[in-house]
Amino acid sequence: MEFGVYLHIPFCASRCDYCAFATWTDRHHLADAYLEACRTDIERAVARGMRTATTVFVGGGTPTQVDPELLGRVLDAIPIADGAEVTVECNPDDVTEDLLRTYRRHRVNRVSFGVQSMVNEVLNTLGRSHHPPAVVTAVEATRAVGIPSFNLDLIYGAAGETVAQWEHTVRAALALEPPHISAYGLTVEAGTPLADDEARWPDDDDQADKYELADDLLTAAGLENYEVSNWAVPGHESRHNRLYWAQGDYAGFGCAAHSHETGRRWWNVRTPDRYIELVAAGRSVESAGEHLDAETRRIEGLQLALRTREGVPHGVLPADELVGFVEVRGDRVVLTRRGRLMANEVSLRLH
């Protein structure tokens, strides 16, 4: 059975206008102590009997902002199964062959690049700091060091982004022959600069057009849609994400990281300062948690499964009332492309 580990790195060189994650641009001086705290926290979890991980995901924040060797030592503390998927999120601007070689020595076999757009004007609108040529260089470095799989993260719907610009982004990404692409519609999160500027909020119809364009181009290139926002060459699907969508168990380390075990969810304290302090004191880093009752867990499981190409069991959706949005395949009901655009609304009909 799959078991995941998530490691949160909260440091960023700059903050994107749409980001509401637990990240900081002014606390890099804590990085070494933070990584040591993460390693200690993991070692204690292992001593308590933490299972061997079959997927590991290092996210943020910007993991490439910390010393790769120190990050590698944190990864070394995790019991990782043979054949496990080990992913690190990377800012293209930070990537060098030396950095990736260090990651590979510490069992990293997949990287995920925060590309968002291949158009400078759109990147500026999003508050991103990298430039498109850095993406090409990063992908070349990934292949040069022999990391076998990678993902390109894209975002559509930025203010002023034309359909032609979005098409350029998708085609430029495909030119790099990635085994996996994630394409997300821009969302407005409370407390972000984007939320404070209504003139830059995305338009639903524009995003629908861009989603359909992306699906056409990615499918034609041989990437299969296996979840609403994710396409992959067969065999390169994200095992870590699939673990989440299957309501699997995972342990989260670092500030604000979430964990789940058989219906119980909990999350750590939000700031790196507090996390370091609690680990040093030998105290719990848990901030809060919740137990899901059986019915809540069942419905959440169906909502997650509906977003995947496997869909949900026949009988939990009124398929005859959702013609055009779902289709029946054997004993399963799956979203059509039109249904993927309305996934949240369709999920309200689950019973």
- Contact (Cβ atoms closer than 8 angstroms) between residue 103 and residue 82: no
pLDDT at position 239: 98
Q: Based on the fold, state whether residues 206 and 321 are members of the same structural domain.
A: no
Q: Based on the fold, state whether residues 163 and 41 are members of the same structural domain.
A: yes
Q: Based on the fold, state whether residues 63 and 197 are members of the same structural domain.
A: yes
User: Which single residue is written with the structure tokens 């158009």?
Assistant: 119
- The per-residue pLDDT for range 137-183, each reduced to its tens digit, is 999 999 999 999 999 999 999 999 999 999 999 999 999 999 999 99
CATH number for the domain that contains residue 197 = 3.80.30.20
The segments of the chain whose pLDDT lies below 50 read none
pLDDT at position 255: 98
pLDDT at position 348: 95
Kind and range of the H or E element at 313? Answer: strand 312-313
Look at residues 273, 242, 243 and name the one whose alpha carbon lies nearest to residue 255.
273
Q: Based on the fold, state whether residues 161 and 304 are members of the same structural domain.
A: no
Question: What range does the domain containing 190 cover?
Answer: 3-244
Q: Based on the fold, state whether residues 224 and 123 are members of the same structural domain.
A: yes
Q: Please, where are the H alpha helices in 178-293? A: 204-220, 239-245, 272-280
DSSP state, residue 202 = P
pLDDT at position 20: 75
98 part of a folded domain: yes
pLDDT at position 226: 98
| Beta-strand pair 332-335/312-313 | antiparallel
Total structural domains within the chain: 2
Q: Based on the fold, state whether residues 60 and 197 are members of the same structural domain.
A: yes
- The per-residue pLDDT for range 154-167, each reduced to its tens digit, is 999 999 999 999 99
261 part of a folded domain: no
pLDDT at position 340: 98
Which pair of tokens denotes residue 343?
């996934």
Q: Based on the fold, state whether residues 42 and 128 are members of the same structural domain.
A: yes
Q: Based on the fold, state whether residues 195 and 55 are members of the same structural domain.
A: yes
- Contact (Cβ atoms closer than 8 angstroms) between residue 106 and residue 147: no
Percent of the chain with pLDDT over 70: 100
